[in-house]
A and B are shown apart, each in its own frame.
Chain A
Amino acid sequence: MLPIILVFTFSSCEKEDPHLHNEEEVITTLTYTLTPQGGGAAVVLSFQDLDGDGGNAPVITAGNLAANTSYSATLQLLNEVASPAEDITVEVLAEAADHQFFYASTSALNASVSYSDEDGDGNPVGVASTVTTGDASSGNLTITLRHEPDKFAAGVADGVITNAGGETDIEVTFSVTIQ
């Protein structure tokens, strides 16, 4: 019959390859670099997930911090699918008022994080921070990036995520040991 014939005639035409422009939106890597304020080697915590929504597990590098020490810390966001790797931190800082990082440690961990940067409204962004450790302990540190949070809601500018709202663009958890 005609339709069956048509199926086979048309099927000889191959569909052309799709194009994919640079996967711009993707953040594949977060590195949190803590440098002791008194001098010494930096500790780097990193989370890398190259295939995004795909099934390969992310590679998480945990870290050890010294007890009773203050660290100057910076966050860096990268898109390592692109070649060369793209620095996404720049994009986040360019829209500083629309972004805020939140640091939350589990109660077992003796560490507190405070902000050391600001956006145009005087609210924190969190790319730069100060980490102060207490006595030896271990627990989890979760870093969350919210897009378009309400920075003026209660507690948000102090780093409490409860009333922040917005959409989560990053949420990574590191297991940290203070020695």
Chain B
Amino acid sequence: MDESTGIPLPYGTVFIQELQVGAASDSLGRFQLKGLCKGAYHLQFNHIGCETHSVFIALVSDTTVEIAMHHHSELVDEVVIHDNKSDHTTQMSSSISRDAIKDETSKDLSIMLEQMVGVSSIKTGAGVSKPVIHGLSGNRVTILNNGIAQSGQQWGNDHAPEIDPFVADHISVVKGASALAYTGGSLGGVVLVEPDDIENDPHLHGEVNYIFQTNGLGHTLNARLQNYAKWAAWRVSATAKVFGDRQTPNYYLTNTGKREYNVAVQMEKKIKPRWRMKLYYSFFNTEIGILRGSHIGNLTDLQEAFLREEPFYTSDAFSYSINQPRQMVQHHLLKLESQHILNEHQSLNFKYGGQLNNRQEFDVRRSGRSDSPALSLFQWDHFFESMYRQQFGEFLQMKIGAQFRFTDNTNNPETGILPLLPDYRAYRGAAFAILQRDKNKLLYEIGARYDLSYLQIVGFSTTIPRTIERNYHTFHNYGVSGGVRYKVLPQLKLSLDIGHVLRSPEVNELYSAGLHQGVSGIEEGNRSLSSERSTKVVLSADGALGKKLFVQVLGYYQYISNFIYLQPQPEFRLTIRGAFPLFSYQQTDATLIGTDVLISYEPIPRLRVIAKYAFLRGMDSRHNLPLIYMPANNLFGSLTYSFKDGKQRKNTAFTINGRYVFKQGNLNADQDYLPTPDGYFLLGASLSSSFSWKETSFKCSLNAENMLNTTYRDYLNRQRYFANDLGWNLSVRVNYLF
């Protein structure tokens, strides 16, 4: 049955690993396994729209097992392809399965999300990327790490989210407005990085994952171990990544290496039958090299860089070493959760999330100061939530909750440089309520949220002599959303989602001051900004024709008044270092219209064709100008052939895929230093297979990217001013599951 609604799921499959036999469930979600001997069995349950769920049972006599499958019922545009020969779920347009995550752990979270239609990345080279959902990113996208909103320097385009995707069992993107239970102000959407609950299996299980890739000579090693012991269920994950200089088709990108060392611990305990506690701790630790030629001085340097074939400081030789400029970030997260089941209809949930983010950015400096960071920010964040859930009858569910968040951001004075972002404290309180009714063909959901924020900012004046200035801001924000899902026919589902949400300006939009390498210019905050107001309408249709054809079309329209953005100023700022482009935070009105299309077709058995198309047009409707940093339209296609399973060899598949990114034609010449790059095509292929014996399985795959070694630059990659994007890459992946 579906975990969140309790409704039976028809036509799922169950597979017994020890015996290598399976069965399908009927239309009422029931299955029967007959003639089994007494013993210990590991069962695997599969269903369209759900993750593979593993369960352990010690069979002594006839037993009835009820399985609750985690089904993303709140996601608007989910599509799952079910191949009647293989029992794995393939790419979901808004959710990435565990298998897909493991295949891609050499990549950063944002790059992994790009496989979803309508999701792109803003990059600062290959080492730093942030998700863009339907054209919006940064302060407008919230990433939830195991239910806790990631707190760090989200404002910077050159600040990647400090999350290791390997800890997740699924990663989802919520594109509509129904994310009000998580956080306010996410006008773009919410990314959910979620580890599952630990499976009820008293044996030690785990996996080891290793990926080697040629571009950057990168090594990625992940390991996970878990056990449902008597004293508590526990799980430990660890990741180590070592990358050297990346490569374009023609030259090395000198100083683009990366190191990452992460660990996560998860524990669960059923203290009483109706009281469960969970603990989660994760530590993320990275050092990222930034292309030296991209940290420039003034406008003259910038213009010289545009004319260069290769960036200055390019070396002929590959190296693993990371020098200035570079970033070093550590992020700690501690989460405690207490779940109380009051009775059959009511439950109460308490959550605490504490985070510590330490970000240091090093630049090339005179007199041995290169070892002193040019930016050093320390941020504490404490989050509390209490949520009450009540079920009314069979179909109606209500959730109400209250949240409190405290953030303290402090600059480390050792930099000796006037900080770009001032010290501040933020206090935010919120309350939300969500009502959902799911009956027969119709699902309704309405939600409302209120946020109260209080900011205390302590910074230096930009004028000489430097004095300390204290500023205070209070913001009231609210959000309302409503959604309807209607199953017109069993094979046709229509959804409509409308949200009206406010977002108050963040501290960087109000107070940032100084040279920001992320924009290659000087940026200045604007303390008179007011809250943005966004209205977004999402309409989607999911249709299936038998089991061979699945089509999903999603269209959206979003209007944001008081849209805050960095406006390039006509005059340059003259300093002793020369002239610098100047950017100032201003407000305007923005209109975004787009569509995401996903088609999956099985023309002949075992052969699957997938096509995806994303279109977006973003306009500054007040000035009748295009919006900057809107992702270009793109097209993706893939052809996968799945081979017949053998006795031990399973899930053997060969895929060939292509991605075409169009030139971003919707931008005026005077809105950017350079014209937008031409459109480009990337060809890829992969071959993978798994082998299983009893309870262990071994999966290996070979994956090629940019096989044609295309020379290209991407509009959303700031490095395009200085260098080409990555050349070809071959990855070898090995995964061992026990």
Contacts and interface: CB of A to CB of B under 8 A. Distances in A.
A18 B416 contact: no
A25 B404 contact: no
Contacts of B574: 49, 57-58
Interface in A1-45: 1-4, 6-7, 10-11, 13-25, 27-30
Given A1-B429, A25-B365, A91-B366, A20 B418 contact: yes
Q: Summarize A's interface: helix, strand, loop or mixed.
A: loop
A18 B470 CA distance: 11
A51 B460 contact: no
B410 A51 contact: no
A7 B429 contact: yes
Contacts of A22: 416
A170 B515 CA distance: 15
A121 interface: no
A169 B366 CA distance: 10
Contact of B366 (A1, A4, A16, A95): A95
B452 interface: yes
A4 B454 CA distance: 11
B515 A53 contact: yes
B392 interface: no
Contact of A3 (B425, B431, B459): B431
Contacts, number: 153
B384 interface: yes
B576 A47 contact: yes
Interface stretch (B297-305, B611-619, B656-664, B676-684): B297-305
B416 A15 contact: no
A139 B423 CA distance: 46
B37 interface: no
A13 B425 CA distance: 10
B464 A169 contact: no
Nearest to B578: A171
B514 A168 contact: no
Interface residues of A, number: 53
Nearest to B418: A23
Contacts of A154: none
A18 B460 contact: yes
Contacts of A20: 413, 416, 418, 460, 466
Given A20-B418, A171-B300, A58 B576 contact: yes
Contacts of B178: none
Contacts of A19: 413
B416 A53 contact: no
A100 B369 CA distance: 19
B551 interface: no
Contacts of A3: 384, 402-404, 429-431
9 contacts: A1-B429, A7-B454, A18-B458, A20-B460, A23-B417, A49-B574, A168-B301, A169-B366, A171-B577
Interface of B: 295-298, 300-301, 312-313, 364-367, 369, 384, 386, 402-404, 406, 408, 410-411, 413-419, 422-425, 427-431, 452, 454, 456, 458-460, 462-464, 466, 468, 513-515, 522, 573-580
Given A30-B576, A165-B313, 18 more contacts: A2-B404, A3-B402, A3-B404, A6-B427, A15-B458, A16-B458, A18-B413, A18-B458, A49-B575, A52-B514, A52-B575, A53-B522, A55-B462, A55-B573, A58-B574, A167-B301, A171-B300, A171-B578
Interface of A: 1-4, 6-7, 10-11, 13-25, 27-30, 47, 49-58, 81, 91-92, 94-95, 144, 147-148, 150, 165-172
